[in-house]
Amino acid sequence: MYKIAVMGDRDSIYCFAALGLDIFPVEDPNLAVETIRKVASKDYAVILITEALAARIPEEIDRYSERITPAVVLIPGVVGNTGMGLRNVKRAVEKAVGSDILN
């Protein structure tokens, strides 16, 4: 059975543990790359990553854009929404459909 992982700063992801999701508190970009690779190699279908952390490891996030699993989804952190997650969804939809249908 597949699982869901959540990565980011502790304050932003701690509440996900109450939902039964596996949390991986990490803020250092090098450790984040190592962690996402380790998590992606296991039975995780979805990896939620805070936008702030994803902004620090864009090349690593892009590695998973072509893969079916795990799906890497950006979420806002406690500092708020940067719009990065919405831009990634919009780009994926444009690629899949061939045009921008989200406007």
Domain boundaries 3-97, corresponding CATH code: 3.40.50.10580
Look at the pTM and tell me if it is higher than 0.95.
Answer: no
Q: Please report the DSSP string for 54-92 in residue order.
A: HHH-HHHHHHTTT-SSSEEEEE-BTTB--SHHHHHHHHH
Q: Beta 22-25 vs 3-8: how paired, if at all?
A: parallel
pLDDT of residue 38: 97
Mean pLDDT per 10-residue interval, the chain, length 103 residues: 95 95 97 97 94 93 88 85 64 61 63
What are the extents of the domains in the chain? 3-97
